[in-house]
Amino acid sequence: MGYMNPASPAPGVTDLDERVAALNARYVGQPATEVLRGALRDTGRVALVSSFGAESVVLLHMLAVCDPARPVIFVDTEMLFPETLAYQREVSARLGLGNLRVVRSEGIADGDPDGLLHRRDPDACCALRKARPLDRALAPFDAWITGRKRFQSGSRANLEPFEAEPGTGRIKVNPLAHWTSRDVQAYMSGHDLPRHPLVAKGYPSIGCAPCTSPVAEGEAPRAGRWRDRDKEECGIHFVNGKAVRAGAPS
């Protein structure tokens, strides 16, 4: 039975908030594959967004099992590690992902002519190379699926499987929200999935090459992203309508 919006939501609560709350209640305690299937069935037009990073293959494999023709959006910032681009090709071919959409920024020549914007203003660089092209690619969709997990950083500690995305009217789906690092590794081993080659070199979280460094033992998985900068997210993921900063309340 499909979801039916209430006639009059409580003050300050939107229809989208009500829908997200109902989805979280419906799928509470359900395994990730059921959350994913629910998203594919219950959230309208939906795409998976993947960085083809350190843990991305888990969700890509789940999607390949459930619906290999579903759109997969990959943002090529043109500053990615060569290993990431090679891994993207390898994983896409092995899993038979039939609807991969590679998107790039249309404004790099004007917005970052010397390729050094990431040093001067990393927020502006992320917006130019990643957030804006992704927003354009997501325009036709009602929802999108991400691989975020609670254990990755403090700002994600209260992550739920379904979220209302501020300002867009879209739903964000996090099927692996409650997974631990051990869960991820067990799934990859159990399905004999290929590892990103940089993981063995100390990169548990992988973004653009200039802004990603290896992580030492005992550090948080995302400690190597924008190291020594007041920055934790690329601008694609927001909390209360704002890009999350390091040290922001979770």
Q: Among the options 125, 208, 211, 234, which is catalytic?
A: 234
CA distance 165 to 217: 34
CA distance 71 to 146: 13
Give the amino acid at 70.
Answer: R
234 an active-site residue?
A: yes
Q: Please name the residue that has the structure tokens 């699926």.
A: 145
DSSP string computed for the chain: ------SSPPTT--HHHHHHHHHHHHTTT--HHHHHHHHHHHSSSEEEE----SSHHHHHHHHHHH-TTS-EEEE--S-B-HHHHHHHHHHHHHHT-S-EEEE--S-HHHH-TTS-HHHH-HHHHHIIIIIHHHHHHHTT-SEEE----GGG-GGGTT--SEEEPTTT-PEEE-TTTT--HHHHHHHHHHTTPPPPTTGGGT-SS--BGGGB----TTS-TTTTBTTTSS----SSSEETTEE--TT---
Active site residues: 234
